[in-house]
Amino acid sequence: MPNQSKVAFITGANKGIGLETARGLGKLGYTVVLGSRDEAKGKEAADKLRSEGIASVEAVRFDVTRPEDYQAIARHVEALYGRLDVLVNNAGIMLDEGDFADSFNTTRTVTPDILKRTFETNFFAVVALTQALLPLLRKAPSGRIVNLSSVLGSLTLHSDPSSPIYAKKAFAYDASKTALNAFTVHLAQELKGTKIKVNSAHPGWVKTDMGGSAAPLEVSEGGRTSVQLASLPDDGPTGGYFHLGEKLPW
Protein backbone atom coordinates (compact mmCIF):
# COMPACT_ATOMS: atom_id res chain seq x y z
CA MET A 1 0.00 0.00 0.00
CA PRO A 2 1.44 3.42 -0.87
CA ASN A 3 2.58 5.54 2.04
CA GLN A 4 0.03 8.25 2.85
CA SER A 5 2.28 10.65 4.77
CA LYS A 6 5.05 12.63 3.10
CA VAL A 7 8.39 10.85 3.02
CA ALA A 8 11.68 12.63 3.74
CA PHE A 9 15.20 11.24 3.35
CA ILE A 10 17.92 13.10 5.26
CA THR A 11 21.62 12.39 4.92
CA GLY A 12 23.88 12.64 7.96
CA ALA A 13 20.79 12.44 10.14
CA ASN A 14 21.92 10.59 13.25
CA LYS A 15 23.08 13.77 15.04
CA GLY A 16 23.34 17.55 14.92
CA ILE A 17 21.45 19.54 12.32
CA GLY A 18 20.36 16.43 10.45
CA LEU A 19 18.73 14.93 13.51
CA GLU A 20 17.04 18.24 14.36
CA THR A 21 15.69 18.39 10.81
CA ALA A 22 14.33 14.87 11.19
CA ARG A 23 12.78 15.82 14.52
CA GLY A 24 11.13 18.90 13.03
CA LEU A 25 9.71 17.09 10.02
CA GLY A 26 8.61 14.16 12.16
CA LYS A 27 6.62 16.52 14.36
CA LEU A 28 4.91 17.78 11.20
CA GLY A 29 3.79 14.25 10.41
CA TYR A 30 6.38 13.28 7.83
CA THR A 31 7.73 9.76 7.55
CA VAL A 32 11.44 10.30 8.17
CA VAL A 33 14.23 8.12 6.79
CA LEU A 34 17.52 8.77 8.56
CA GLY A 35 20.67 8.20 6.52
CA SER A 36 23.68 7.41 8.71
CA ARG A 37 27.15 6.04 8.00
CA ASP A 38 27.05 4.26 11.36
CA GLU A 39 24.02 1.99 11.33
CA ALA A 40 23.99 1.55 15.10
CA LYS A 41 24.05 5.29 15.74
CA GLY A 42 21.30 5.75 13.18
CA LYS A 43 19.10 3.23 14.95
CA GLU A 44 19.79 4.92 18.29
CA ALA A 45 18.68 8.24 16.78
CA ALA A 46 15.52 6.65 15.38
CA ASP A 47 14.72 5.12 18.77
CA LYS A 48 15.22 8.51 20.40
CA LEU A 49 12.73 10.12 17.99
CA ARG A 50 10.21 7.35 18.60
CA SER A 51 10.53 7.90 22.35
CA GLU A 52 9.52 11.52 21.70
CA GLY A 53 6.35 10.43 19.93
CA ILE A 54 7.56 10.45 16.31
CA ALA A 55 6.30 7.06 15.23
CA SER A 56 7.05 7.03 11.51
CA VAL A 57 10.84 6.94 11.40
CA GLU A 58 13.47 4.49 10.23
CA ALA A 59 17.25 4.48 10.02
CA VAL A 60 19.23 3.15 7.06
CA ARG A 61 22.97 2.73 6.63
CA PHE A 62 24.00 5.33 4.08
CA ASP A 63 27.41 6.77 3.27
CA VAL A 64 27.52 9.69 0.82
CA THR A 65 31.05 8.69 -0.19
CA ARG A 66 29.86 5.27 -1.44
CA PRO A 67 28.26 5.62 -4.91
CA GLU A 68 26.71 2.17 -4.58
CA ASP A 69 24.60 3.50 -1.71
CA TYR A 70 22.79 5.96 -4.02
CA GLN A 71 20.92 3.34 -6.02
CA ALA A 72 20.49 1.22 -2.90
CA ILE A 73 18.57 3.99 -1.12
CA ALA A 74 16.56 4.67 -4.27
CA ARG A 75 15.50 1.02 -4.42
CA HIS A 76 14.72 0.99 -0.71
CA VAL A 77 12.54 4.11 -0.80
CA GLU A 78 10.71 2.98 -3.92
CA ALA A 79 10.00 -0.46 -2.51
CA LEU A 80 8.70 0.81 0.85
CA TYR A 81 7.09 4.13 -0.03
CA GLY A 82 6.72 4.40 -3.81
CA ARG A 83 7.95 7.99 -3.95
CA LEU A 84 10.08 10.58 -2.17
CA ASP A 85 8.62 13.92 -1.11
CA VAL A 86 11.70 15.51 0.46
CA LEU A 87 15.43 15.12 0.03
CA VAL A 88 17.60 16.96 2.53
CA ASN A 89 21.26 16.87 1.48
CA ASN A 90 22.53 17.51 4.98
CA ALA A 91 25.76 15.49 5.28
CA GLY A 92 28.91 17.57 4.99
CA ILE A 93 32.49 17.90 6.20
CA MET A 94 34.92 20.70 6.98
CA LEU A 95 38.59 19.75 6.89
CA ASP A 96 40.13 23.24 6.80
CA GLU A 97 41.82 24.35 9.99
CA GLY A 98 40.57 27.64 11.39
CA ASP A 99 38.92 29.14 14.44
CA PHE A 100 35.79 31.09 13.50
CA ALA A 101 36.26 33.26 16.56
CA ASP A 102 39.37 34.68 14.86
CA SER A 103 40.53 35.79 11.40
CA PHE A 104 42.08 33.16 9.15
CA ASN A 105 42.56 32.21 5.50
CA THR A 106 43.48 28.70 4.37
CA THR A 107 43.82 29.44 0.64
CA ARG A 108 47.63 29.35 0.62
CA THR A 109 47.93 26.26 2.80
CA VAL A 110 45.03 24.01 1.74
CA THR A 111 46.22 20.75 0.18
CA PRO A 112 44.86 19.05 -2.94
CA ASP A 113 43.80 16.12 -0.75
CA ILE A 114 41.67 18.33 1.50
CA LEU A 115 40.10 20.02 -1.52
CA LYS A 116 39.27 16.68 -3.16
CA ARG A 117 37.87 15.08 -0.01
CA THR A 118 35.78 18.16 0.80
CA PHE A 119 34.31 18.39 -2.69
CA GLU A 120 33.62 14.66 -2.84
CA THR A 121 31.32 14.87 0.18
CA ASN A 122 29.95 18.41 -0.01
CA PHE A 123 29.40 18.66 -3.76
CA PHE A 124 29.95 15.63 -6.00
CA ALA A 125 28.07 13.26 -3.70
CA VAL A 126 25.13 15.67 -3.44
CA VAL A 127 24.83 15.96 -7.21
CA ALA A 128 25.02 12.20 -7.76
CA LEU A 129 22.56 11.33 -4.98
CA THR A 130 20.07 13.95 -6.12
CA GLN A 131 20.24 12.66 -9.68
CA ALA A 132 19.62 9.12 -8.42
CA LEU A 133 16.56 10.17 -6.39
CA LEU A 134 14.99 12.61 -8.86
CA PRO A 135 12.74 9.93 -10.44
CA LEU A 136 11.21 9.30 -7.00
CA LEU A 137 10.88 13.03 -6.28
CA ARG A 138 9.02 13.42 -9.58
CA LYS A 139 6.45 10.90 -8.31
CA ALA A 140 5.62 13.10 -5.33
CA PRO A 141 2.75 15.60 -5.52
CA SER A 142 5.16 18.38 -4.49
CA GLY A 143 8.81 17.41 -4.17
CA ARG A 144 11.29 19.45 -2.13
CA ILE A 145 15.11 19.39 -2.29
CA VAL A 146 17.07 21.17 0.43
CA ASN A 147 20.82 21.57 -0.02
CA LEU A 148 22.62 22.34 3.25
CA SER A 149 24.89 25.18 2.30
CA SER A 150 26.38 27.88 4.51
CA VAL A 151 26.69 31.65 4.56
CA LEU A 152 30.37 30.84 3.94
CA GLY A 153 29.41 29.92 0.39
CA SER A 154 28.40 33.49 -0.41
CA LEU A 155 30.87 35.15 -2.78
CA THR A 156 29.09 38.48 -2.25
CA LEU A 157 29.73 38.43 1.49
CA HIS A 158 33.24 37.04 1.17
CA SER A 159 34.22 39.93 -1.12
CA ASP A 160 32.69 42.63 1.09
CA PRO A 161 35.18 44.03 3.67
CA SER A 162 32.26 45.08 5.87
CA SER A 163 30.83 41.53 5.98
CA PRO A 164 31.13 39.54 9.24
CA ILE A 165 32.62 36.60 7.29
CA TYR A 166 35.14 38.64 5.30
CA ALA A 167 38.11 37.58 7.46
CA LYS A 168 37.04 33.95 7.90
CA LYS A 169 38.04 31.97 4.82
CA ALA A 170 38.11 28.18 4.96
CA PHE A 171 38.85 27.81 1.27
CA ALA A 172 37.98 24.14 0.65
CA TYR A 173 34.77 24.26 2.67
CA ASP A 174 33.67 27.67 1.38
CA ALA A 175 34.33 26.79 -2.27
CA SER A 176 32.42 23.51 -1.94
CA LYS A 177 29.38 25.37 -0.63
CA THR A 178 29.64 27.96 -3.42
CA ALA A 179 29.62 25.09 -5.90
CA LEU A 180 26.64 23.57 -4.09
CA ASN A 181 24.79 26.87 -4.44
CA ALA A 182 25.46 26.76 -8.19
CA PHE A 183 23.90 23.29 -8.27
CA THR A 184 20.82 24.66 -6.51
CA VAL A 185 20.43 27.44 -9.10
CA HIS A 186 21.00 25.16 -12.08
CA LEU A 187 18.73 22.36 -10.87
CA ALA A 188 15.94 24.76 -9.94
CA GLN A 189 16.00 26.18 -13.46
CA GLU A 190 15.92 22.70 -14.98
CA LEU A 191 12.93 21.77 -12.80
CA LYS A 192 11.10 25.02 -13.51
CA GLY A 193 7.51 24.25 -14.35
CA THR A 194 7.45 21.12 -12.19
CA LYS A 195 6.22 20.83 -8.61
CA ILE A 196 9.73 20.23 -7.30
CA LYS A 197 11.38 23.11 -5.44
CA VAL A 198 15.13 23.31 -4.86
CA ASN A 199 16.74 25.67 -2.35
CA SER A 200 19.98 26.19 -0.44
CA ALA A 201 19.81 26.51 3.34
CA HIS A 202 22.16 28.31 5.71
CA PRO A 203 21.34 26.82 9.12
CA GLY A 204 23.28 29.45 11.04
CA TRP A 205 26.38 29.03 13.16
CA VAL A 206 25.34 26.12 15.36
CA LYS A 207 26.94 24.35 18.32
CA THR A 208 27.66 21.11 16.44
CA ASP A 209 30.86 19.09 16.15
CA MET A 210 31.70 21.28 13.15
CA GLY A 211 30.44 24.60 14.52
CA GLY A 212 32.11 24.30 17.89
CA SER A 213 31.16 25.59 21.33
CA ALA A 214 31.60 29.28 20.40
CA ALA A 215 28.62 29.14 18.01
CA PRO A 216 25.67 31.30 19.09
CA LEU A 217 22.90 28.87 18.10
CA GLU A 218 21.95 25.74 20.00
CA VAL A 219 21.68 22.45 18.15
CA SER A 220 17.93 22.54 18.73
CA GLU A 221 17.77 25.65 16.53
CA GLY A 222 19.92 24.26 13.73
CA GLY A 223 17.25 22.43 11.77
CA ARG A 224 14.71 25.24 11.48
CA THR A 225 15.72 26.54 8.06
CA SER A 226 15.87 23.03 6.60
CA VAL A 227 12.41 22.22 7.96
CA GLN A 228 11.01 25.46 6.56
CA LEU A 229 12.37 24.77 3.08
CA ALA A 230 11.39 21.09 3.17
CA SER A 231 7.78 21.98 3.98
CA LEU A 232 7.30 24.94 1.63
CA PRO A 233 3.80 25.46 0.23
CA ASP A 234 3.23 25.18 -3.51
CA ASP A 235 3.58 28.95 -3.91
CA GLY A 236 6.89 28.99 -2.05
CA PRO A 237 10.24 30.00 -3.59
CA THR A 238 12.64 27.86 -5.59
CA GLY A 239 16.24 28.42 -6.62
CA GLY A 240 16.92 30.53 -3.51
CA TYR A 241 19.42 30.81 -0.69
CA PHE A 242 17.81 31.24 2.73
CA HIS A 243 18.29 31.49 6.47
CA LEU A 244 15.09 31.38 8.54
CA GLY A 245 13.03 32.79 5.68
CA GLU A 246 15.46 35.59 4.83
CA LYS A 247 17.21 35.58 1.44
CA LEU A 248 21.00 35.56 1.41
CA PRO A 249 23.17 37.06 -1.36
CA TRP A 250 24.90 34.58 -3.62
Average pLDDT, integer, range 195-223: 71
Q: Report yes or no on 111 lying in a domain.
A: no
Q: Using CA atoms, how far apart are residues 13 and 62, in angstroms rounded to an integer?
A: 10
CATH number at residue 196: 3.40.50.720
pLDDT of residue 216: 45
Give tens-digit pLDDT for 1-46: 345 699 999 999 999 999 999 999 999 999 999 999 999 999 999 9
The count of domains in the chain is 1
Asked if residue 103 is part of any domain, the answer here is no
Give domain status of residue 101, yes or no: no
Q: Inform me whether the pLDDT recorded for 224 exceeds 50.
A: yes
Cα separation, 104 vs 25, in Å, equals 36
Q: How many CB atoms lie within 10 A of CB 202?
A: 21
**pLDDT class of 100 with cuts at 50, 70, 90:** confident
Among 228, 219, 172, smallest CA distance to 200 is for 228
108 assigned to some structural domain: no
Per the domain annotation, does 130 fall within a domain?
yes
Distances (CA, A) of 15 to 124, 149, 230: 22, 17, 18
The answer for residues whose C-beta is within 8 angstroms of residue 17's C-beta and 6 or more apart is 90, 148, 203, 206, 208, 219, 222, 223, 226
Look at residue 36 and tell me if it is in a domain: yes
DSSP 217: B
Catalytic residues: 173
Per-residue confidence band for 213, with pLDDT thresholds at 50, 70 and 90: low
111 sits in the region (left: phi over 0; alpha: psi -120 to 50; else beta) called: beta
Assess if residue 60 is contained within a domain. Answer: yes
User: Does 165 map to a domain?
Assistant: no
Range of the domain at 15: 7-92+124-150+175-247
Burial status of residue 38 (CB atoms within 10 A of its CB: 0-12, 13-18, 19 or more): middle
pLDDT in tens, 103-117: 999 999 999 999 999
Per-residue pLDDT for 236 more than 80?
Answer: yes
What pLDDT score was predicted for residue 80? Answer: 97
Q: How far is CA 194 from CA 143, 144, 234, in A?
A: 9, 11, 10
